[in-house]
C-alpha cells in the first residue's frame, strides 16, 4: 500500500477495509465433513485463489465471507470433489448474515438453559439429536462427525454462561462411539462431579485417555450399555483415568473416607495463627505500622534496631511451577542478589559473614539499597498470612509474615549502578536514568519475613532478628474468599508511632475492651452492610444456637451491623457482659459504618 | 573457621529428610530432635500442642513427600543460647492415591479377581519393592525453626523449641487439597 506520509493514512486504510467488509457477502459450504474446517479452507484457497474470511461452523455447514465477485466464482466451484464428497456452495440470500451467527448462539444458549436444572446443578445433554429445537433448526447432530462440530460450539456458549453452575452432566443416548467430539467438556467443566455417558457405543479405553488427569473431582461415572463395560480391565482403567472416582455404574469402587484422607493434609490451612489474643492485636498493629513505614520511610524504622539487632535477606530464586496461579516465570533479583545470604547457595564463609548486618547503620545500608515498595495489607488482607508465637528464651515473640509487594521505585542508594561499570552508566545517562538492564527491572515479588521481637524496658519493642526471603511472585496458597469468621484478617488502624506496648501481655478478658477500637477502627469491610444480624451461611453453620442468640441480643443492644456484632462477640469470647462492656468502652471510636 | 552455616544447613536437611521418611519405625529418632517439655509446632497456621501429636498426624495422615531446600538463613540470637532459622523449600506429594503404607482407597472388587489385582501377587517374591510414588507438582513452603545453639556442639537432643511450617503457594494441577 502506498503511504503518502499523511497523518491520517491509517484511518484511510481502516475506512477502506471497513467499506470492503460492508460489501462482503456470505457463502455457505456443505459436504466437507470428512475433513477439518482448515483443510477445506486451504483446499478452496489452493484451487480458486479465494480466501474465505471469518468462517464459522454451523452444524454441518461452514459459513464465511467473500466479496460478491468471489462469491460468483465460488458458486461455480460447487460440485467439486473434496475428501470423497462433492461440495455444495451457496451464496447467502441476504447481504449480511452476521445475525445468523448470533442466531446460532441464541439457539444453542436456549437449548442449554432449557436443559439446565438450577436445583440439581445438572445439565442434561442426553439424546441431543432428537432435541426438537435443534432438529427444527437443522442443527441436530446426526452422526459423530457433525456432533464434533456442534458440541464444542455448545461448550463455548456454556462457558460464557456464568449463571450455570454445573456439577452433573448427562450425555446418555448420543450415539457416541468415542469421546473425541465431546472432549471439550473437560475444559468447560473441569470441576464436574457426576457424569453419565450411558447408552452410547464407546468401546475402547483409548478414547477416554484424553480425559486422563482432567475431571479431578469426578466422583460418579455412569457408563452402562457401552461395549467398554464388558472389558476385563474396565474397572481398573476407570480407576486409573479418574483419580477421585468413588462410584462407577452405581457400585462403590473407592472408600471415600480413605480417599479424602489420602488427598488432604491433617489440618486445613488457615491464614492466621496467634498464640493468644494479646499477641493477635499487638502483632497486627506492629506489622501494619512496620510495613507502612517500610513503604514510606525506612529511616524511621531504625529506632527499632539496637546495636545487637541482626538483619539479613535471602533470595529464593527457584521459579514456581507454571501451574501455580499467576506465577512469575522470569523473576529478576538484581537489586537483592548483592545482599542475599542464602547459605544453601553461597559457599564462601566470608560472604556469609559479611551479609549478616548487625546494628542500625549496617542494616540501613541494606534497607536503603532495596527497591521502594508498596504492600497491600489494607487493600488485600487475604493476600497475607501471619503466624505469631511466644519465644520464652528472649521473653519476646516471633512474627512471621508471608505475602507480596510491588516494587514502586529504584532504591534510594543505587548499589547496582556502581557495580555496572562505566559502559553501563553511560547507557544510563543516555536512557535518562532508566536502566534497561532486564535483571533490575521493577516487578511484584512474594516474600516471607520473620522477626524476633523483644519488649524493651520503656514499653516499646525492639527487633532482635529480622530475616527476609524474597521469591518470585505468585498467588498465595491460603487465599480464600473473605469470610467474617476471621475478623483478625481486617487490617488494623495505623498508629502514629511504632511504640507497641508489649511489656505486659494482658490476659484474654481484660484485653478485650482495649482491643476493639484498635481492630474495629480499620478500613471499611468488604461485606455489604446488612441491616439484620445476618452472616454468611457458612459462618452461621459453625455457630451454636446459643451463639446465634447472643449475636441477636448484642445486635439489638448495640445496633452494630452483622460483621461488627460478630467481631465484638468473638473478641469477648462469646460473653455477653464482656461484649457490652467492651462496646461501651469503644463505642465512640467506632466508624459510622459499624452501625446499622 | 566458622562451621555454623554448614551445621545449620545439614540440620535443616536432616529435619526435611525426617519429614520425607515413610518408615514409622524411624519416628522415634525424629521425635528426639524436639524439646520434650515445651515445643510449639504450627503447621499451616494450625497449632499442635506437642511434637508427638504432629509427628503422628504427619506419619499417618500425609502421603509420602519429597522436600527440596531452596533457601536457608539463620541468626544466632546473642545471650539466649538460641538461633532462629528461616528456610524456604519446595515439597511435592505422592499423588498415586496410596498412603505411606502403600494402601490405597480402592474397594476390592467382589468378583474372582479380588485377590489378584494385576501384578500384586506375582511380585511377592520381591515384596520389598514398594510401589513407585507418582510425584505431583511442587508446592512452596516457608519454614521457621527456633533451635538451641547446642546443635553447634553436635548435641541434637531436644534442640527444636518451635517450628512453623507454612505452605505459601500451591499448583492448580495438584490432586491434594490443603
Q: Band of the pLDDT at A62, cuts 50, 70, 90?
A: confident
pLDDT of residue B33: 95
Rg (alpha carbons) of chain A, rounded to whole number: 33
Indicate yes or no: CB of A320 within 8 angstroms of CB of B175.
Answer: no
Q: Which helix H or strand E contains A65, and what residues bound it?
A: strand A61-66
Distances (CA, A) of A135 to A116, A127, A472, B65: 19, 12, 54, 54
Which CATH number fits the domain that encloses residue B57? 3.10.450.50
Least confident of A259-263, A355-359, A478-482, B39-43: A478-482
| Domain assignment of residue B93, yes or no | yes
Q: Which of residues 364-403 of A touch B (CB under 8 A)?
A: 385, 387, 389-394, 398, 400, 402
Report yes or no: A310 at the B interface, CB cutoff 8 Å: yes
- Closest Cα of chain A to B125: distance in Å? 23
What number is the average pLDDT over the span B6-32?
93
Indicate yes or no: CB of B40 within 8 angstroms of CB of A389.
Answer: yes
Q: Band of the pLDDT at A484, cuts 50, 70, 90?
A: very low
Residue corresponding to grid cell 437449548: A111
Q: How many domains does chain B have?
A: 1
**pTM for the model:** 0.68
Indicate yes or no: CB of A266 within 8 angstroms of CB of B166.
Answer: no
Indicate yes or no: CB of B144 within 8 angstroms of CB of A446.
Answer: no
pLDDT of residue A539: 63
Q: pLDDT (tens digit, 9 = 90+) per residue, A72-130? A: 888 888 888 887 788 888 876 544 445 455 677 888 888 888 889 888 899 998 888 77
pLDDT of residue A422: 42
Q: pLDDT (tens digit, 9 = 90+) per residue, A425-434? A: 444 444 454 4
| Domain assignment of residue B64, yes or no | yes
Checking if the pLDDT of B121 tops 60, the result is no
Local structure of A596: helix, strand or coil:
coil
Q: Band of the pLDDT at A490, cuts 50, 70, 90?
A: very low
Least confident of A14-23, A404-413, A516-525, B133-142: A516-525
- Closest Cα of chain B to A342: distance in Å? 5
* Percent of chain A at pLDDT exceeding 90: 30
Least confident of A257-266, A293-302, A414-423, A502-511: A502-511
Report yes or no: A217 at the B interface, CB cutoff 8 Å: no
| Domain assignment of residue B116, yes or no | no
What number is the average pLDDT over the span B99-110?
84
Closest Cβ opposite residue A448 in set B9, B80, B168: B168
Residues 6+ apart with CB under 8 A from A2: none
Mean per-residue pLDDT of chain A: 77
pLDDT of residue A118: 87
Residues of B in contact with A258 (CB under 8 A): 103-105
pLDDT of residue B56: 92
Using CA atoms, how far apart are residues A352 and A365, in angstroms rounded to an integer? 17
Report yes or no: A491 at the B interface, CB cutoff 8 Å: no
pLDDT of residue A528: 34
| Domain assignment of residue B129, yes or no | no
| Domain assignment of residue B127, yes or no | no
Least confident of A150-164, B40-54, B93-107: A150-164
Would the ipTM clear 0.85, i.e. be above it?
yes
| Domain assignment of residue B83, yes or no | yes
Strand ranges (DSSP E) for A376-492? 385-391, 396-409, 444-455, 461-472
Asked if residues A409 and A443 have their Cβ atoms less than 8 Å apart, the reply is no
| Domain assignment of residue B67, yes or no | yes
Closest Cβ opposite residue B77 in set A272, A342, A394: A394
Substitution target from A343, A347, A350, A454 for chain B, most B beta carbons within 10 A: A343
Q: Band of the pLDDT at A216, cuts 50, 70, 90?
A: confident
| Domain assignment of residue B48, yes or no | yes
pLDDT of residue A583: 77
pLDDT of residue A515: 32
Report yes or no: A267 at the B interface, CB cutoff 8 Å: yes
- What is the span of the domain harbouring residue B94? 4-104+135-169
Asked if residues B107 and A252 have their Cβ atoms less than 8 Å apart, the reply is yes
Indicate yes or no: CB of A389 within 8 angstroms of CB of B170.
Answer: no
pLDDT of residue A246: 94
Closest Cβ opposite residue B140 in set A256, A267, A320: A320
Indicate yes or no: CB of B139 within 8 angstroms of CB of A252.
Answer: no
Amino acid at each position: 500500500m502506498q503511504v503518502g506520509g499523511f497523518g491520517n493514512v491509517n484511518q484511510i486504510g481502516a475506512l477502506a477495509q471497513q467499506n470492503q467488509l460492508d460489501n462482503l457477502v456470505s457463502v455457505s459450504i456443505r459436504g466437507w465433513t470428512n475433513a477439518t474446517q482448515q483443510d477445506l479452507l486451504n483446499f478452496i484457497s489452493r484451487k480458486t485463489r479465494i480466501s474465505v474470511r471469518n468462517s464459522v461452523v454451523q452444524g454441518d455447514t461452514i459459513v464465511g465471507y467473500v466479496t460478491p465477485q468471489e462469491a460468483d466464482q465460488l458458486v461455480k466451484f460447487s460440485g467439486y470433489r473434496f475428501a470423497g464428497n462433492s461440495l455444495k456452495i451457496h451464496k447467502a440470500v441476504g447481504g449480511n448474515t452476521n445475525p445468523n451467527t448470533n442466531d446460532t448462539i441464541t439457539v444453542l444458549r436456549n437449548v442449554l438453559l432449557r436443559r439446565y436444572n438450577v436445583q440439581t446443578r445438572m445439565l442434561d445433554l442426553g439424546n441431543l439429536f432428537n432435541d426438537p429445537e435443534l432438529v427444527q433448526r437443522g442443527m441436530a447432530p446426526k452422526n459423530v462427525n457433525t456432533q464434533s462440530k456442534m458440541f464444542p460450539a455448545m461448550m463455548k456458549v456454556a462457558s460464557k454462561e456464568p449463571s450455570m453452575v454445573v456439577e452433573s452432566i448427562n450425555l446418555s443416548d448420543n450415539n457416541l462411539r468415542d469421546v473425541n467430539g465431546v472432549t471439550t467438556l473437560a475444559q468447560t467443566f473441569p470441576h464436574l462431579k457426576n457424569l453419565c455417558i450411558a447408552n452410547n457405543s464407546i468401546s475402547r479405553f483409548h478414547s477416554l485417555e484424553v480425559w486422563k488427569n482432567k475431571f479431578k473431582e469426578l466422583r460418579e461415572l455412569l457408563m452402562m450399555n457401552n461395549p467398554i463395560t464388558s472389558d476385563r480391565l474396565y474397572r481398573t482403567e476407570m480407576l486409573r483415568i479418574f483419580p477421585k472416582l468413588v462410584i462407577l455404574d452405581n457400585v462403590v469402587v473407592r472408600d471415600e473416607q480413605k480417599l479424602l484422607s489420602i488427598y488432604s493434609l491433617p489440618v486445613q490451612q488457615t491464614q492466621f495463627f496467634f498464640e493468644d489474643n494479646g499477641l493477635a492485636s499487638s502483632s497486627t498493629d506492629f506489622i501494619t505500622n512496620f510495613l507502612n513505614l517500610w513503604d514510606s520511610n525506612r529511616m524511621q524504622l531504625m529506632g527499632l534496631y539496637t546495636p545487637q539487632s541482626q538483619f539479613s535477606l535471602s533470595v529464593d530464586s527457584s521459579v514456581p511451577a507454571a501451574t501455580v496461579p499467576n506465577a512469575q516465570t522470569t523473576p529478576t533479583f538484581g537489586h537483592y542478589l548483592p545482599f542475599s545470604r542464602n547459605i544453601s547457595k553461597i559457599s564462601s564463609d566470608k560472604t556469609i559473614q559479611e551479609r549478616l548486618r548487625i546494628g542500625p547503620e549496617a542494616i540501613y545500608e541494606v534497607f536503603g539499597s532495596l527497591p521502594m515498595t508498596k504492600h497491600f495489607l489494607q487493600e488485600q488482607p487475604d493476600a497475607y498470612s501471619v503466624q505469631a508465637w511466644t519465644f520464652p528464651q528472649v521473653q519476646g515473640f516471633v512474627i512471621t509474615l508471608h505475602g507480596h509487594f510491588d516494587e514502586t521505585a529504584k532504591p534510594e542508594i543505587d548499589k547496582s549502578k556502581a557495580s555496572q561499570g562505566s559502559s553501563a552508566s553511560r547507557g544510563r545517562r543516555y536512557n535518562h536514568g532508566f536502566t534497561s538492564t532486564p535483571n533490575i527491572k521493577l516487578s511484584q515479588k512474594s516474600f516471607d519475613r520473620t522477626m524476633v521481637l523483644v519488649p524493651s524496658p520503656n514499653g516499646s519493642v525492639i527487633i532482635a532478628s529480622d530475616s527476609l526471603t524474597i521469591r518470585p511472585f505468585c498467588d498465595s496458597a491460603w487465599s480464600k474468599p473473605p469470610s467474617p469468621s476471621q475478623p483478625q484478617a481486617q487490617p488494623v488502624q495505623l498508629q502514629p508511632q511504632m511504640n507497641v506496648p508489649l511489656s505486659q501481655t494482658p490476659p484474654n478478658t481484660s484485653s478485650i475492651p482495649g482491643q476493639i477500637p484498635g481492630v474495629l477502627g480499620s478500613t471499611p469491610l468488604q461485606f455489604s452492610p446488612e441491616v439484620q444480624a445476618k452472616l454468611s451461611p457458612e459462618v452461621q453453620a459453625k455457630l451454636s444456637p446459643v451463639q446465634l442468640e447472643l449475636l441477636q441480643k448484642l445486635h439489638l443492644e448495640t445496633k452494630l451491623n452483622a460483621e461488627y456484632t460478630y467481631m465484638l462477640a468473638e473478641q469477648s469470647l462469646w460473653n455477653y457482659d464482656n461484649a457490652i462492656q467492651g462496646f461501651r468502652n469503644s463505642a465512640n471510636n467506632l466508624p459510622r459504618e459499624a452501625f446499622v | 573457621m566458622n562451621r555454623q552455616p554448614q551445621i545449620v544447613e545439614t540440620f535443616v536437611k536432616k529435619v526435611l529428610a525426617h519429614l520425607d521418611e515413610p518408615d514409622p519405625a524411624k519416628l522415634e529418632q525424629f521425635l528426639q530432635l524436639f524439646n520434650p517439655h515445651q515445643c510449639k509446632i504450627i503447621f499451616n497456621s494450625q497449632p499442635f500442642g506437642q511434637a508427638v501429636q504432629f509427628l503422628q498426624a504427619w506419619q499417618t495422615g500425609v502421603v509420602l513427600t519429597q522436600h527440596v531446600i531452596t533457601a536457608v538463613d539463620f541468626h544466632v540470637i546473642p545471650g539466649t543460647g538460641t538461633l532462629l532459622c528461616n528456610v524456604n523449600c519446595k515439597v511435592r506429594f505422592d499423588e498415586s492415591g496410596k498412603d505411606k503404607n502403600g494402601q490405597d482407597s480402592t474397594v476390592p472388587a467382589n468378583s474372582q479377581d479380588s485377590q489378584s489385582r494385576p501384578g500384586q501377587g506375582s511380585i511377592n517374591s520381591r515384596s520389598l519393592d514398594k510401589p513407585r510414588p507418582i510425584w505431583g507438582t511442587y508446592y512452596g513452603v516457608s519454614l521457621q525453626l527456633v533451635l538451641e545453639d547446642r546443635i553447634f556442639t553436635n548435641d541434637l537432643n531436644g534442640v527444636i523449641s518451635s517450628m512453623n511450617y507454612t505452605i505459601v503457594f500451591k499448583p492448580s494441577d495438584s490432586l491434594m487439597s490443603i
